[in-house]
Structure 1
Amino acid sequence: MSGNPSRLAVDTCTAPADSGRYAPGILNRRSLSIVPERRCRPAAAPDVGGTSHRRCREAETLTSSPEAGSPEKGSGVPEGRYGTRRTGRGGRWPAWLATALVLVLGIALSALAYRNLGSAPIDGKASRFDIRDEDSVHITLEVRRDDPSRPAECVVRSRGVSGKEAGRKEVYIPPGETTTYRETVLTTSEAPVTGEVFGCSYDVPNYLRDRTRPSG
């Protein structure tokens, strides 16, 4: 800051002529030094008691010291009220972290697409079906799986002349070859017109496993 203190008129008072006291000024604070400067002029007329008064104007000099923590010229705003301005780019993510996140996201999307659009681990279809009578159909299943050592189950069904489902059955597929053929007879509630495989899975229920075990 410059060496010349800035002057600021802060108060106007009326004091008796014979009084040597100054009018009240601003209280001193930490780094502010107040130097009152007395400027007086005679009052326009005496008061009722005949005592001459003078109207005094107190001009006080405010001197700011380095301890006040005043902001430098051109800073725009006081630091004590708005804080210091942040510098640097600490808020941005590092480039390597952003790259790693992109790679992980790409791998996850690829795995999801392969699972939904890739070939199924097990698949089955009806290679043929024969309608034996008005309440049964003979179905031959063709099952392909990626792990022939695991047992599987397939669900077969038939539709009647009305177009509605007329019967459904679970078929156990024991461990064997990659491509396995299995035959079954499905009983229907009305005259069947089709025989088909609804789906296959490695999730074999326990009751189906127990049903196919040989009795000892």
Structure 2
Amino acid sequence: MKLYLVPTPIGNLEDITLRAINILKEVDAVLAEDTRTSGVLMKHLGISKPLHSYHIFNEHQTVQRLVAQLKGGKTLALISDAGTPSISDPGFLLVRECIKQDIPIECLPGPTAFVPALVNSGLPADRFTFEGFLPHKKGRQTRLTELVGESRTMIFYESPHRLLKTLEQFAEYFGPDRPASVSRELTKLFEETIRGTLQEIITYFAEKTIKGEIVIVVQGK
């Protein structure tokens, strides 16, 4: 009886650990955010295990069923499409319920996008705040206003089609001369990190077709 949280590569499939591979081979079943995406990884690793769907739209309904399986002696691994479960991905509800029910949990160390983006940025990494995705509408301005006085380095996730709008809002709230960096397609073939002031980064991306997963790092006040 145990739940393992297993980080998976954010791009380059070689970034999975030997321990993660061994755990995926040993468990009774794997809970995956998208069984198609995870199926590709499992096939690449030569692992054949039952894959069950566990994502943001069904986690409320499935938690009790999964807890019952764990209490019945099953060993399960939770993986997301990329990176570490629960970091801007499903997992928190299941972990919280397992803690309540005294079910052992173990989280393996491994890939997550914000750490390489932070280190790559060249901005102070001794103190930082991870903000994930900002609210799209309700609460967005409130969050940005709260962050105006933030002295720690700030880390955000963003989608390609919202990148420019978000950078422009950052320039408005934090000032166009605030140092920042944008990392895109981390660990993949077309990985790039653009560093400069917010205005310089806006100018760069204004002329580009933006694709891929994005991490924005902004220096604190």
TM-score, normalization: structure 2?
Answer: 0.16
Which fold has the larger relative contact order, with Cα–Cα distance below 8 Å and residues 6 or more apart in sequence? 2
The structure number with the bigger radius of gyration is 1
Greater helix fraction, Structure 1 or Structure 2: 2
TM-score, normalization: structure 1?
Answer: 0.17
Greater strand fraction, Structure 1 or Structure 2: 1
